[in-house]
Structure 1
Amino acid sequence: MSLAQKLKLYRKQLHEQNRGAQESSLNRQQQDQMLNDERQNQAIRRAATALAADLRTFEDQYVLVHSERLPLATRIGPYALGDLWQTVASWQAFDAAHPLSAKGLHAEDLLFFDTETTGLGSGSGQMIFLIGLARMTDHFLELKQYFLPGPGHEAAFYDSFLKDCTSLKHLVTFNGKAFDWPRVKTRHQFVRDQVPKLPAFGHFDLLHASRRLWKNRLESVRLQSIESKLLSMNRENDVPGKLAPFLYFQFLKHPEPGLVKGIIEHNREDVLTLVSLYIHLSNKILGKAAADPEENYEIARWFEQIGDHAHAQTIWKTLIQKDSAFQIPAKARLAACLKRKGDYRQSLKLFESVIAAGEDEGGLISIEAAKLLEHRFHDYSRAIQYTKSAMIQIGHQQNDEKLYQYKKAACLKRLNRLNLKRAKKFS
């Protein structure tokens, strides 16, 4: 055998040895990956058992679904779950539109919804790892929680959730418009070709309603603050929501069910509180539960803002009969309502009552009285008197020099016009 033939044979043997080594290495990697996948799957199955959850599969992915049925007599704070039926029925009889109105809906149409996420940011890197929802049936409240066992299982996570919500008509959330649902939409984009479309629905966001009624009495309008301060609810051994991301990431490293059990219970409590809070807010607005003067004042302002002056006026009239810190502000609001309706005499009477009580900060009420006296009653002397009073009040507020000069110029213009009208009247 020539030297060239020997070299050729050697190269062939060396190539076969390298290929064999590569195939052996690849096989070991595949075996290691399969072994690792099987370990993860075993950990997921153990977690499902420990958390009393069903293990649903989608292609080669998993989602853990915990289901619970609560009797309608179950009390969540001051209300039984079954009270939701009466609340929704009361909305059917209410003769006005309102942002929280369930008119045209059934109790079963409401889906109480909350999520837990890996962070508070709005970027695409933030995942939802737990969805909790509850809906009413004739005999019980059905609560379901969907747990994401790892980042590679989002298709199963959203497929299961969306297939259970095909009849979704109305979400009830706490900050869901700004936080929860936008994040659902963001994460859905990554798996949209594999899972059902997001449904169209109405949305009651109870954070906005809670802020309207209680922003001045609660240090923080958080769900847990509302529970303890207004619904007489106290959680025991609750895992704070801010710890949820840390505990979930720990679970991904070491899938021990105990790491996330507290988060799942926290989410469950949040969802059930939404039911109680919706009943509570609705009953206040509908007049089915006692509301204190501050709550009534804010409810009336809400009606006024949405253009329902009739309901606002009814509440103002009730408030001005009661001695409270909101009696005078209610008089000013009612006076403005009556002015719009054309009841100028009663409107002026109320404006003057507010002024007499010394509650004309900034001179706005005096200006309103002056306008009525000038344009509706042609009493220029009294209009001048109230305009001068307004100028004094404006002088007490000079923090904003530009605004002060603007208001002062407007009053001087009004005074000049009134003096001319009075002179003409008596000439």
Structure 2
Amino acid sequence: MALDKLGKELDALLGEGRVVRGNKIPESKRTPKEPLPYSAGDSIGNISARKVETASGAVLLHEELFPASHIHGEVPLDRFSSLEGLGNVLPTNAPPLPDLEKVIFLDTETTGISRKSMAFMVGIGRWVPEGGFRVAQLFLPAPPDEGALLETLNSECEGAMHLVTYNGKTFDMPLLEGRYTINGVTSPFKSMPHLDLLPLARRLWKRGAGSGKLQAMEAKVLSYHREGDIPGAEIPAEYARYLATGEAGRLPAVFTHNALDILSLGALLAAAAEVGREVTPRIKAEPVTREELIRAADAATDSYEKKKHLRKLAMVYKRAEEFDALLNVTAKMREEDRCDPWPVIEALKVLEHKAQDYLTGSEIAKEALELGFWHPDDREAIEKRLARLAKKAGE
């Protein structure tokens, strides 16, 4: 099914056009226009689940405990319990991970990839003190009960102090934060340190893996090859079909897909720690001058390191009031990461207050809003600057 057609069907099923962005969903709009054509049970096909009810509705929770002896690819789960050496391969300013019991591994399955999309499944992996890796999967049987999924997710995250995802900074977390805002539920992730494994995996293993995709890393690093896995691009259609018919279809395969993603997060983190234990930490002087920062940014193969050097360079130009150079650097940063609000905001400040180029500023703001997945606070900041720029430009 084409994504545009799927998106239209999901919009109709979810009634998303009735939601006012940034506001809590009114009670009158929490029910679909027509009754759902099925009754949600306590299982999805052959996947057993228990119903968790909150003031906002009900969500289904499937739990599975993988023993420490379980092997994922070539990685026994008991290796998850030791992250010694991980600090040797993390960026220098990355916060250290706490005790593993306080780390959560998160992955979502969503209705699509647009700004209107929602997560119909959220999987959480945690190491349990008695030994083993618990995977809890929250499934949304009825979209109007989305608040219940988020509230139950908060309960699952109690005591957590660090978040681990794969490409979560670009996709999963901006999407979830937006849904928290729409539903008027407080997010536990706003102030939680977040380690996105994608940049780290690219830096450590992309040359051999040939791709930064999770399944390529599974094959290269873990010697794990999925068999019969449902392609990610087909998952939204399975949920749409479930909403329309009430039939589980291939949703059990979606649960398996999500659980494998979470197991791979833990295994890759353990593998990264093993790499760290084999290297000697190197202490080197950070680039400081313009020339050093330019060379460091050009030489960086890791996206995180490149952005770090470019941001420092931008601040050098800002302090020197060399605004044309600052705009050039922020343009490079936007190309590197379209979901980083900092270079967008800095460029808009210069174009509004220094260059007084309101049209260019408006174009940059519009392009950013169109292309990026944004935390609601960042989107609001860009929208406010766009409104001022448009007014000054006479639009």
For 1:280-321, what per-residue CA distance to the aligned partner results, in whole angstroms no more than 9, with x for missing partners? 112112217xxxxxxx9xx97xx75978xxxxxxxxxxxxxx
Task: Please list, as runs of the form range in 1=range in 2, the aligned pairs for 1:329-344 lying within 5 A after superposition.
Answer: none
Contact 1:100 1:282 in 2 (8 A): no
Shift in Å, 1:55: 1.0
- The answer on 1:108 being equivalent to 2:101 is yes
Specify the structure having the higher radius of gyration (Cα).
Answer: 1
Q: For the structure 1 residues 46 and 283, does the alpha-carbon distance in structure 2 shift closer, same or farther, using more than 3 Å as the test?
A: closer
Secondary structure of 1:256's aligned partner? coil
Give me the whole-angstrom Cα distance separating, in 2, the residues matched to 1:191 and 1:284. Answer: 42
Contact 1:65 1:147 in 2 (8 A): yes
Question: What secondary structure sits across from 2:112 in the alignment?
Answer: coil
TM-score (normalised: structure 1) = 0.54
Contact 2:103 2:126 in 1 (8 A): yes
Q: Distance in 2 between matches of 1:137 and 1:99?
A: 29
Q: Name the TM-score, length of structure 2 as normaliser.
A: 0.58
- Secondary structure in structure 1 of the residue aligned to 2:66: strand
1:37/1:45 CA distance change after superposition, 3 Å: farther
Tell me if 1:225 matches 2:213.
Answer: no
Which of 49, 60, 63 in structure 2 is aligned with 1:53?
49
Question: Where does structure 1 lack aligned partners over 5 or more consecutive residues?
Answer: 1-32, 289-295, 308-427
Give SS of 2:69's match: coil
- Conserved 8 A contact 2:106-2:163: yes
Q: Is the 8 A contact 2:164 2:196 kept in 1?
A: yes
- For structure 2, the residue ranges without an aligned partner over 5 or more in a row are 1-30, 288-395
CA deviation profile, 1:76-121 (whole Å, cap 9, x unmatched):
12221111222x2455xx6897459774611112111111111123
| Helix, strand or coil at the partner of 1:216 | helix
Percent of aligned pairs with the same amino acid: 28
Displacement of 1:217: 3.2
What is the Cα deviation at residue 259 of structure 1?
2.9
Match of 2:76 in 1: 80
Q: Which of 185, 188, 201 is residue 192 of structure 2 equivalent to?
A: 201
The Cα offsets for residues 101-154 of structure 1, whole Å up to 9 and x where unpaired, read as 774611112111111111123x1x111111011111122211100111122110
CA contact (8 A) 1:47 1:255 kept: no
Cα shift at 1:73: 1.2
Output the amino acid matched with 2:226. Answer: R
Deviation string, structure 1 residues 232-265 (Cα, Å, up to 9, x no partner): 1011110011111111111111111233111111
Equivalent residues of 1:112, 1:173 under 8 A apart:
yes
Aligned letter for 1:57? E
77-86 vs 168-177, which moves further: 77-86
Contact 1:73 1:81 in 2 (8 A): yes
Q: Conserved in 1, the CA contact under 8 Å of 2:45 and 2:249?
A: no
Please give the alpha-carbon distance, in whole angstroms, between the structure 2 residues aligned to 1:168 and 1:305: 34
1:5-43 deviations in Å (ceiling 9; x for gaps): xxxxxxxxxxxxxxxxxxxxxxxxxxxx99x75863x3x
Q: Is the 8 A contact 1:116 1:267 kept in 2?
A: yes
Is the 2:84–2:277 Cα contact (8 Å) retained in structure 1?
Answer: no
Contact (CA 8 Å) 2:42, 2:49: kept in 1 or not?
no
1:120-269 maps to which residues of 2 (within 5 A)?
A: 120-121=113-114, 123=115, 125-138=116-129, 139-192=131-184, 195-199=185-189, 200-269=191-260
- Aligned residue-pair number: 254
| Secondary structure of 2:121 counterpart | strand
Pick from 54, 58, 67: which aligns with 1:71?
Answer: 67
Cα deviation, residue 222, structure 1: 0.5
Deviation at 1:166, TM superposition (A): 2.2
Q: 1:132–1:304: structure 2 CA closer, same or farther, 3 Å change rule?
A: farther
CA contact (8 A) 2:112 2:236 kept: yes
| Higher fraction of helix | 1
User: Relative contact order (C-alpha < 8 Å, sep 6+): which is higher?
Assistant: 2
Alignment check: 8 A CA contact 1:48 1:55 kept: no
Instruction: Let me know the Cα RMSD of the aligned residues.
Output: 2.9
Residues 1:274 and 2:265 are matched in the alignment: yes
